[in-house]
Homo-oligomer: A and B are copies of this chain.
Amino acid sequence: MITIIASTNRPASSTLKLAKYYQKQMLNKGTEANLLSMAELPADFIQTDMFGSRSAAFEPIQQLITGTQKFLFVIPEYNGSFPGILKAFIDACTFPDSFYDKKAALVGLSSGTYGNVRGVEHFAGICSYLHMHVLPLRIHIPGIRKEMNADGDLFEEKTVKFVDEQVDKFLKF
């Protein structure tokens, strides 16, 4: 089971659009993937679901994570790294069985110039701590607003090709 994580709770985010684009590409290749946006987390999960507590609202999310074997994290750049909510989510999930020995692919995006190289680098360290196998091919997409059309589809040939290569490698991973 595959789950794509849209790593922010920002409303109408490019991150969610890009996550849906990845989901569509996987479907085109015959694979259904779940999509979990950080916007779906309970608003108070930092209080209700940390340090061993578990709320009814978070429980189905935990079940989704527990049942997933492969994660694709779509990670925007916030303050020079990944969004805090993504890491708070990781901290809230049951340890170690949520992520241990599972697989991950990493996608960085930014409205600015560097495609969240640093945030993805940081997050890869966390993946290592969690004992995840990380796909070597990371994709970084700077200037995301110039890369997407009104339907949320990528259209720049080079980016489309890189994403396609990553999706292929991820599905075989």
Chain B residue, CB-CB nearest to A101:
B136
Cβ contact within 8 Å between A125 and B133: no
Within 8 A of B (CB), among A40-56: 41, 43-48, 50-51
Q: With A47-B9, A86-B84, A130-B79 known to touch, is A115 a contact of B118 (CB < 8 Å)?
A: no
Cβ contact within 8 Å between A84 and B88: yes
A21 at the A/B interface (Cβ < 8 Å)?
Answer: no
The smallest beta-carbon distance between A83 and chain B, in angstroms, is: 6
Which residues of chain B are near A132, meaning CB under 8 Å? 136
CA A41 to CA B95, docked complex, whole Å:
24
Per-residue contact bits, chain A 90-106, to B (CB 8 Å; 1 contact, 0 not):
11000100000100000
Q: With A117-B118, A118-B118, A128-B138 known to touch, is A46 a contact of B133 (CB < 8 Å)?
A: no
Q: A85-B91, A131-B136, A133-B133 are in contact. List 7 more A-B contacts (CB 8 A).
A: A43-B44, A43-B47, A44-B44, A83-B87, A113-B142, A122-B122, A131-B137
CA A124 to CA B133, docked complex, whole Å:
12
- Which of A48, A90, A91, A131 counts the most B-chain CB atoms under 10 A from its CB? A91
Chain B residue, CB-CB nearest to A130:
B79
CA A128 to CA B118, docked complex, whole Å:
11
Cβ contact within 8 Å between A80 and B130: yes
CA A114 to CA B77, docked complex, whole Å:
14
Chain B residue, CB-CB nearest to A99:
B79
Which residues of chain B are near A47, meaning CB under 8 Å? 9, 43
